[in-house]
Amino acid sequence: MKILMVCLGNICRSPLAEGILKTKVEKNRLNWIVDSAGTSSQHSGEQPDSRSIAIAEKYGIDITDQRSRQFKTRDFSEFDLILVMDASNFRNVVNLARDEEDIKKVKLIMNLAEPDQNNEVPDPYWNDNGFEQVYQMLDKACEALLLKY
């Protein structure tokens, strides 16, 4: 399994999702590849947001080695599953799809834990208090992913 986590900036939500899933994958000794990207290039090359680093650290996860990168069309070829945080990420990624096969790989991450609800992981960039909620949501989704595959 090769899984790509995608948000807008690849500095808040998807780096956390990558860190959470990688930790679970290691614990379960699975041979999965996990990465993350942003639909925007605005923060390319940057470390995750300090608030994401802090909330990950609170739960024993180190995401400081991650660097933001932009989602590219070739990611459709390299990954089996592309998990997006919200409807806007979904539109941005699907707009780059080459065919139906590509589109089928794109899923709203919370639908793993809360099927068919189309719940979104809120953008915490402008809300210092949003990071705990984002962590809990992503942890729930990643746990559901492990059970599913």
| Residue 18 in the binding site for ligand 4NP (CB under 6 A) | no
Say how far apart CA 107 and CA 117 lie, in whole Å. Answer: 12
User: Minimum distance from CB of 40 to ligand 4NP (Å)?
Assistant: 7
- Which residues within the stretch 72-101 sit at the binding site for ligand 4NP (CB under 6 A)? none
Kindly provide the b/e burial profile for residues 32-70, where b requires at least 16 CB atoms within 10 angstroms of the residue's own CB: bebbbbbbbeebeebbbbebbbebbeeeebebeebebbe
Strand order across the 33-38 sheet: 33-38, 2-7, 81-84, 106-108
User: Minimum distance from CB of 56 to ligand 4NP (Å)?
Assistant: 13
User: Minimum distance from CB of 47 to ligand 4NP (Å)?
Assistant: 12
| Residue 110 in the binding site for ligand 4NP (CB under 6 A) | no
Contacts with ligand 4NP by CB under 6 A: the residue count is 11
Catalytic choice (12, 13, 51, 86): 13
Complete DSSP assignment for 82-132? EEESSHHHHHHHHTT--SHHHHHTEEEGGGGTSTT--------TT-TTHHH
13 assigned to active site: yes
* Piece of 2-10, 56-64, 112-120, 139-147 that binds ligand 4NP (CB under 6 A): 2-10
Residue of the chain from 12, 138, 141, 145 that contacts ligand 4NP (CB under 6 A): 12
Catalytic choice (7, 35, 75, 142): 7
| Residue 13 in the binding site for ligand 4NP (CB under 6 A) | yes
Half-sphere exposure of 149 (CA within 13 A, CB side): 19
Compute the radius of gyration of the chain from its Cα atoms: 14
Catalytic residue ranges:
7, 13, 123
Binding site for ligand 4NP (CB under 6 A): 7-13, 38, 42, 123, 125
